[in-house]
Structure 1
């Protein structure tokens, strides 16, 4: 059986099965159909290996809120009329999710975006989740609401974009000399670990500079290779990763710092940042002074709340604060009694803003 990527398979499933079925049994229904949300196929990274679990012909059906009462009838209709297989792939009717758009977004983001988003709300959204919402493909959208939401969430607002870049440079500034200091006392493994953290920050900067949402770790490197800068930057990062001594590691890091600083300046979005490495005080370590770069970028932020957040603690968003998978799903801890668990993270920001 020839492998069909998930987006194409689900598109066929919509047009050949779902849409005719709805037209026949629910002819007046206005709805949206898409493949978005979790799943490697949504980001276009699925392979034949992906088909071993939680994969197959499926769509998300978005009904109007007043039509949600028909969900049970929909499910019965699907179970009674959809074939057991589609292009050789088994169909699991449970994988076709039927919901409303506000409910879906509340589950993914923990926020009702129809009420508007405050800039700080964006800092609570993992980039993976945003990638899942704007990724994939929409097959039908009778009201245009789904496309409107995807446009609204297409990328960070300008001030959040700048704040996240400044925060990432600040992270580099906090650790760039530590990778070299560890190596200087013959702690090469410690130096390598810190350098790997810096590599991740540099890669995150690249996603930000090219206005792409970075995916979670499984696809982070795969997505990075698709960026415009990857061909030039990847060899430098690999040299950092595989360096056996801190001096070799330092040389590769310096070249990577200078490359990414030049890439930032070419955008012309802030005052010019320093592109050349310098010595760290009187020590024999070369650094890019990431924290100074962070403050240069932050000067271009105009939103009062985000400016104050920068002045008090330049901690970035949820992806900067933690790489704990369960915590980054904090917005999905919702239940019918309490749908505001993301306020745990908001409390952190509110405390900083005091």
Structure 2
């Protein structure tokens, strides 16, 4: 079977199979269709390696009447072809898998059918058609936002509802953006001086581990500063490196995380820190801050003193609700458990448990 990018395969599957089938068997059906529910293909990053699981001819079919879901599933189960472009249209695997492994003898097809509002609440914990509040933004992992605003819409026959949802989730309001960026810089401030201290006492492994954490935070920061939703760990480096301005930071972080000693690690981190600091000033979201590194107290290593950027961003927030919140940012800035972040009800309970101030 010849590899076809998953989004291309899914669009053709809709246009050449699903749409004609629905037009013939359910004329007049109001529905939206696309691919918005997870997978490397939503970011255009799938390869032939991706085809071994959770990949194949598939689509998301959304309706506005929940009573339509079961009949549509029965129709598709009975009438979808066994193969499309030589790929099986059925999948096998237990209920805990998202899609499973493509298998002509599989027990289910790859078309998810759901009522739009219920599907949105299942993916996000809320329905953006009713508005997106500050609490909603801060309780939604950026990976989910990348999925919902990435991927593709093949048909939007629900009065443009799917396009409306994607537009509302396109980016943070400015004050939420400031709050999230401030939290990101605060994370850097809490760790940047530890890289040198670990090295000073001979803990090269510890120094590298801390440097890697700072690098991860800088990459997420860089994406946020360029209005790109940071994806989860597998694709963070790839998506960051795709930013037009990322080249110098990528080179600096490669040096910082390479096999050389502490001096090269510090030099790489400083270059990366100063560049991302300059990007922060370029947004105009806060008063400009000097983006040059300086000594950490009287110690023989350099830091950006990143807390200065966090403070400047927080000073620019006018929303009293956000000003009163602890400077923790969005939920995936202080929680990294997959078993929390992939379950909206858990995410919202965690985010909602934070006391104000």
| Same fold per superposition (TM over 0.5) | yes
Equivalent position to 2:218, from 185, 194, 202: 202
1:7 aligns with 2:14: no
Cross-structure match for 2:112: 97
SS of the equivalent of 1:97 reads strand
Equivalent position to 2:335, from 306, 315, 322: 322
- Residue range with higher mean Cα deviation, 320-329 or 143-152: 320-329
Equivalent position to 2:73, from 75, 80, 101: 75
Gaps of 5+ in 1: 334-340
- Residue range with higher mean Cα deviation, 215-224 or 258-267: 258-267
Q: Compare relative contact order (CA 8 Å, sep 6+) and give the higher one, 1 or 2.
A: 1
Cross-structure match for 2:25: 25
TM-score, length-scaled by structure 2: 0.91
RMSD (Å), alpha carbons: 1.4
State the shift of 1:70 in Å.
Answer: 2.3
1:255 aligns with 2:271: yes
State the shift of 1:148 in Å.
Answer: 0.2
Contact 1:109–1:125 at 8 Å: present in 2 too? yes
- Residue range with higher mean Cα deviation, 262-271 or 102-111: 262-271
- C-alpha separation in 1, matches of 2:351 and 2:110: 31
Cross-structure match for 1:345: 351
Cross-structure match for 2:321: 305
SS of the equivalent of 1:342 reads helix
- C-alpha separation in 1, matches of 2:13 and 2:130: 34
State the shift of 1:164 in Å.
Answer: 1.1
State the shift of 1:243 in Å.
Answer: 4.5
Contact 2:35–2:60 at 8 Å: present in 1 too? yes
Cross-structure match for 1:336: none
Contact 2:32–2:62 at 8 Å: present in 1 too? yes
- C-alpha separation in 1, matches of 2:109 and 2:82: 12
- C-alpha separation in 2, matches of 1:80 and 1:72: 12
Contact 1:188–1:244 at 8 Å: present in 2 too? no
Cross-structure match for 2:83: 85
Contact 2:132–2:168 at 8 Å: present in 1 too? no
Cross-structure match for 2:149: 134
TM-score, length-scaled by structure 1: 0.92
CA deviation profile, 1:324-346 (whole Å, cap 9, x unmatched): 1111123155xxxxxxx723321
Cross-structure match for 1:116: 131
1:145 aligns with 2:161: yes
- C-alpha separation in 1, matches of 2:350 and 2:252: 39
Structure 1 or 2: more helix by fraction: 1
Contact 1:240–1:249 at 8 Å: present in 2 too? yes
Gaps of 5+ in 2: 91-107
